[in-house]
Amino acid sequence: MISALLSQTTAPATAGGSDNASTLADQAAAAVTGTLDQVVLGNTITAWIRFAAILITSYLLAWVVRTVIAARLKKWASRTTTQLDDLLVTIVDDIRIWLIAPALVYFASRGMVLTDQAERAIYLVAMFGVAVQLIMSSRLLIDFGLGALLARNKLPDGAPDPTLTSSLGVLRVIAMLVIGSIVVLLALDNLGVEIKPLLAGLGIGGIAVALALQNLLGDLFGSLSILLDKPFVVGDFIVVGNEKGTVERIGIKTTRVRALSGEQLVFSNSDLLNGRLHNFKRMQERRIVFTISVTYETPQEKLRDINDIIKQAIADQQLTRLDRCHLKAFGAYSLDFEVVYFVLSAEFGQYMNIQQAINFAIIAEFAKRKIDFAYPTAVEYQRIEPQYMGKIVDHRP
């Protein structure tokens, strides 16, 4: 109809051409207006055109922000030293347009006449897409925060803290659970869901879940306690009961320890915190007690020299500090000297090297001064009775 009217306007003008042209233009305008006012699916064609224009414009704007502006921000961030602009670029670059597309559809449809079911369905899909995008963007924020935390907690040699490194998974899971819960609750609140009854129900259900998963939750909170309180860290040598080894990894539920014999020991985090634990890595110095035993036949002058021999043997070694050296006790077969000294290092191998050198020095000095070490002996005394004419004479009264 519109094309027929327009074709008529192209016909050669007659004497009353101007009047006819005006009449045809009015008819065309009326036809166009009538066409645009036609209702399709409850909305006029004008409303549909406006909806399409807003949707296409907003989508193009989102695409420009996602690509063009993000590329410019990336070039600008590469010339700065701060990390915040890099985080902004990463968040913008991580936007999924297909996730926010339902929100663009909902925004463009605000001028449309929709049924309650259709409007609620669009709003629900839009809220879901925005919630998923927020959770995905929060993941980047969490990684950025954990990276900054790891950068601030380094060892004296500049290496990252191995304990914190092994616990990043725990912190990431907890942070994602917290942020995800907040986003879900906000989305439900915007959808008109009553949050207070839901929270009350979750509280009751949470108690039941906590009772069912108390061991798992105990290990999870145990992992947090180990991370925050730091009774041990990765690389520490610990003793738990009869087991001992070097901590390799602190996980969400378990801690893995490499035993001296080579196998891997797995402890639950709650068991480690509930029992007594010896951490030898944090030992600043090692207290050593040993005993030297000499024979009872050793002369008194040489006994007095033993103190000086032992003190000199310890003083000749580096990283040592003598505490005391005394003739402690009269043993069953020996005179016992007790020696107490400190090795100013926590390394077990270094302590053994020092103790060996002290032992060699004492052995050499004892051999030079002819001092005998005592060892378990038994002295047998035999009584010989006097005899007279082949008979034993008993002198007892």
Domains of the chain, by residue range, sit at 1-6+26-152, 157-173+184-281, 286-369
pTM higher than 0.85: no
Q: What is the reported pLDDT for 111? A: 75
* pLDDT score, position 54: 84
Cβ contact 227:150 at 8 Å: no
Residue 2 is predicted with a pLDDT of 43
Beta pairing partners, 288: 341
Q: How far is CA 308 from CA 130, 305, 335, 338, in A?
A: 82, 5, 16, 13
Q: What is the pLDDT of residues 350-365, one digit of tens each?
A: 999 999 999 999 999 9
* Domain 157-173+184-281: CATH architecture, name and number where available: Roll (2.30)
Fold of 286-369: Alpha-Beta Plaits (3.30.70)
pLDDT at residue 17, as a whole number: 53
Low-confidence ranges of the chain (pLDDT < 70): 1-21, 24-37, 155-156, 163, 166, 198-217, 379, 381, 384-397
Per DSSP, what are the bridge partners of residue 391? 388
Contacts of 250 (CB under 8 A, 6+ apart): 163, 166, 167, 223, 226, 227, 233, 234, 269
Q: For residue range 305-315, what is the model confidence (pLDDT) as tens digits? A: 999 999 999 99
Confidence at residue 7, expressed as pLDDT on a 0 to 100 scale: 47
* Adjacent-strand bridge partners of 341: 288, 322
The residues with which 343 forms a beta bridge, in sequence order, are 286, 320
